[in-house]
Amino acid sequence: MIATTAAAAVAVAAVASARWNWWRLKVKGMPALMYHKIGDYPPGSQLRKLWVTVKNFRKQMEYLKTQGFNPIHFADWHAAEKGSKPLPANPVLITFDDGYANNYESAFPILREFDFKANIFLVYETMDSHNSWHDPAGEPWIPMLSWKQAEEMQNSGLIEFGSHTMKHRNLPAISMDETRWELNESKKRLEEKLGRPLLGFAYPYGAGAYHPEIRRAAREAGYRYDFAVKQGISPLPWNPDSGPLRRLFIRGDDTMYDFHLNMTRGKARF
Ligand SMILES: [Zn+2]
């Protein structure tokens, strides 16, 4: 009987090991959650894993609250780096790529409820429009944030915006002149529109984050924090020379155990 139980436990552990990273050492640093769309994926979506349901998003925020995490803005981090205000204990960056209207409709009310700060990377030319960079045959066009919604979110004090370029192009596939325009122009226009310094940048598709010339251009554009999509938790303090910031990709089909492993191990699955 005991032997059978032990064998069963070994079998369970083997199965868990094959899928999850529970055995990894706990990682400390600056976890940066990466979300895209909040809600139910539309029929025809080939990017279902980028959709996190409202129910799951709420559970994940609940986890952050009960585990004592404190969501911050890029500006909070920058203030801490300059020595003007220390970071709270257990800081976390909640980030959203692209700037979908569903961030306002579905995520913002939950962030308000928890009084949580979050950061949204906008694609300047898609504001008040739709996700035109997607082929609608694979990912339906849906509304992006309006400037009015962005203004309301910024005025609430809960949302800080970053840049995700002008048009969401694949930077390594275009010329360096075009890349510099995407980086510099979006920063300038967003700063004019929002009246705040733009500290954060996320590479569309994560592309170019590890391309030395493109990354140098992002740094030269004046972004303090550049975000890749590479899975992991960046160490604190963070040295920009060590490479772009890693993130925790929160997938639509993640369980709360995956979320827990992401937050503590910097990785859920293999
Ligand atoms: Zn994107």
Q: Where are the domains of the chain?
A: 27-265
- Whether the per-residue pLDDT at 111 is higher than 90: the answer is yes
Distance, CA 248 to ligand 1 centroid (Å)?
15
Whether the per-residue pLDDT at 4 is higher than 70: the answer is no
Residue 171 C-alpha to ligand 1 middle, in angstroms? 12
Query: Which tens digits make up the pLDDT trace of 258-269?
Result: 999 999 999 998
Residues 10-69 pLDDT 10s: 666 666 666 777 777 788 899 999 999 999 998 888 899 999 999 999 999 999 999 999
Q: State the pTM of this model.
A: 0.93
Structure confidence at residue 23 (pLDDT): 77
- How many Å lie between the centroid of ligand 1 and the Cα of residue 214? 16
Determine the Cα–Cα distance for residues 215 and 193; give it in Å rounded to an integer: 25
| Cα 15 to ligand 1 centroid, rounded to whole Å | 33
What helix, strand, coil percent values describe the chain, rounded to 5?
45, 20, 40
**Least confident among 4-8, 137-141, 225-229, 250-254:** 4-8
Of residues 241, 190, 226, the one with CA closest to residue 93: 226
Contact assessment for residue 187 and residue 221, using Cβ atoms and an 8 Å cutoff:
yes
Q: What is the CATH number of domain 27-265?
A: 3.20.20.370
**How many CB atoms sit inside 10 A of residue 102's CB?**
20
Identify the CA nearest to 92 among candidates 265, 263, 261, 268: 263
Q: 107: closest CA among 48, 67, 158, 141?
A: 158
Residues with CB under 5 A from ligand 1 (ion): 97-98, 204
